[in-house]
Amino acid sequence: MKSNQKESDAFLLHATKFKETSLLCSFFSKEFGKVSAVAKGARSKKSKFQVLTVPGAIFKIAFSGRKDLKTLTSCESLETLDIKGPNFKIYLYLNEIILKLLESYEPMPEVYESLIKIFKFLDGNKNESIEFELRRFEYSLISELGYGFNMDRDVEGNEIEVDSRYSFNPQLGFSKGDRGQKILGQHLINFVQNNFNGPETRFSIKMIMRSAIENIIEKPLSSREVFK
């Protein structure tokens, strides 16, 4: 690798046509965070970047350039995950929130490792445990970005009570007995205790994470199927 090049494991978040034969790619890399790079000639038949068209692939990429828009110099497939059906919609959703929530060139290796873990979990799993892993990732990402809130205590610092109902403000947390959406304390306790079997709990936690993400995201999500 040349001295002016940088290298990292990464996966492709999004790609669009660029000029006549190239692709404008957005990667999430382990070492450098979100990276934008042009894959020159990627749409030509004999391109060395044809591997970019493989969904679910984890790459080793190298890129160069002094400006924010880099030039992709190499891209090697390290592993390909076979994510299908409803799980593929979740995969697209995760790609989209990373693309829209994270700033460019801010390394977040823990988020990267958590994403790879959940991607591999999506490869072959089909039960409600997928939804729990998704909500847990959303919660950790929200916290990592500095918008975290307590799930086991209300805004006054009191422990969440099983039979009490709470409203949720994504900027503050949970308030007991206030106006607004009423969330049963038992549902919050279930999530903290990794008990995600009940449909009421799953619905409550889904709405909480949706509200928290919409509070910090600038553009509306297009992959809304995961919330239905």
The CATH T-level fold of domain 5-80 is OB fold (Dihydrolipoamide Acetyltransferase, E2P) (2.40.50)
Mean pLDDT of the chain: 89
C-alpha pair distances (Å), 191 with each of 23, 148, 150, 151, 157: 41, 15, 12, 8, 18
pLDDT for the residue 36: 96
pLDDT for 45-71, tens place per residue?
888 898 888 888 999 999 999 889 999
- CB within 8 Å of 34: residues ≥ 6 apart: 13, 26, 27, 28, 98, 99, 102, 103, 104, 105, 106
Global confidence as pTM: 0.86
- The letter for the amino acid at 2 is K
Considering the domain delimited by 127-227, tell me its CATH architecture. Up-down Bundle (1.20)
Q: Which of 17-26, 48-57, 119-128 has the lowest mean pLDDT?
A: 119-128
Q: Are 186 and 204 in contact (CB under 8 A)?
A: no
pLDDT value, residue 227: 41
What's the average model confidence in pLDDT over 23-31? 95
Check if the beta carbon of residue 78 is closer than 8 Å to that of residue 60: yes
In the sheet with 165-169, reading across from the earlier edge strand, the strands are 173-176, 165-169, 183-184
**37: CB partners within 8 A, 6+ apart:** 24, 25, 27, 61, 63, 65, 69, 70, 71, 72
Contact 188, 151 (CB under 8 A): yes
How many Å apart are CA 37 and CA 23, to the nearest integer? 8
Mean pLDDT of 172-177: 91
Each domain of the chain, given as residue ranges in start order, spans 5-80, 127-227
Overall average pLDDT of the 129-146 stretch:
92
* pLDDT for 197: 84
User: Predicted confidence band at 225 (pLDDT cuts at 50, 70, 90)?
Assistant: very low
How far, rounded to the nearest angstrom, does the alpha carbon of residue 116 sit from its chain's CA centroid? Answer: 10
What would the pLDDT profile of 73-111 be if each residue is shown by its tens digit?
999 999 998 888 888 889 999 999 999 999 999 999 999
Mean pLDDT on 31-53 = 91
Cα–Cα distance list, 83 to 57, 87, 119, 121 (Å): 10, 6, 8, 9
Give every CB contact of residue 146 below 8 A, 6+ residues apart in sequence: none
Q: Which of 182, 220, 195 is nearest to 97 (CA)?
A: 220
Compute how many other C-beta atoms are within 10 angstroms of the C-beta atom of residue 47. Answer: 17
Q: Could you give the count of Cα atoms lying within 13 Å of 51 in the half-sphere of its Cβ?
A: 16
